[in-house]
Amino acid sequence: ILAQGEQPASVVFGNRSDAMSTGVTVSDDCIQKFNDMKLKHDCKYIIYKISDDKSQIVIDEVGAKDSNYATFKEKLLGTEARYGVIDFHYETDDGRPQDKLLFVFWSSDDAGVKSKMLYAGSKDAVKRNLQGIAKELQANDASDLDEAEVTKFCKK
């Protein structure tokens, strides 16, 4: 029971808790850009990273509307660990065009242990704030990001 005027130890603002297990929070820009992507279709992908001071998840790169999956994959593979969301386009088995918002947690097998742990521990904070993700993929090797494999994964 709290005495009059005392505040609880953890405070939640909106749907975003600022007391994540790793202490890393999600910047408002990340959420706003994702919502713009989802509703306005103004970009192909967004890549997020943990800031240099390890306090916030921030936007690393935004792919233009006419970007493709190969560019997204190349950008992820050039890093040790990142989060990404892509408006992934594919065809169903019966030939219908389909789009899904795909969340990708990229953590290279070659990444340092601290980096892997920080990104893994902060992943739920990102996902919780990005409402409308259709599928989630964890990739640790370039083959995990092969477009044919990702298409097969999205069809499940």
Cα gap 74→82, rounded to integer Å: 12
Report the DSSP beta bridge partners of residue 12.
17
Mean pLDDT of residues grouped by 10 in the chain (156 residues)? Answer: 46 41 89 96 97 95 96 94 96 93 95 92 93 95 95 93
- DSSP per position, 86-121: EEEEEE-TTS-EEEEEEEEEEE-TTS-HHHHHHHHH
pLDDT at 126: 93
pLDDT at 4: 52
Q: What is the pTM of this model?
A: 0.84
pLDDT at 12: 40
Q: Yes or no: say if 32 and 40 are a contact pair by the CB < 8 Å rule.
A: no
Is 66 strand, coil or helix? coil
pLDDT at 16: 43
Q: Yes or no: say if 139 and 105 are a contact pair by the CB < 8 Å rule.
A: yes
Cα gap 42→44, rounded to integer Å: 7
For 113, other C-beta atoms within 10 Å of its C-beta total: 7
pLDDT at 97: 95
Work out the end-to-end distance of the chain between its first and last CA atoms, rounded to an integer number of angstroms. 48
Residues 6+ apart with CB under 8 A from 135: 88, 100, 101, 102, 103, 153, 154
pLDDT at 22: 79
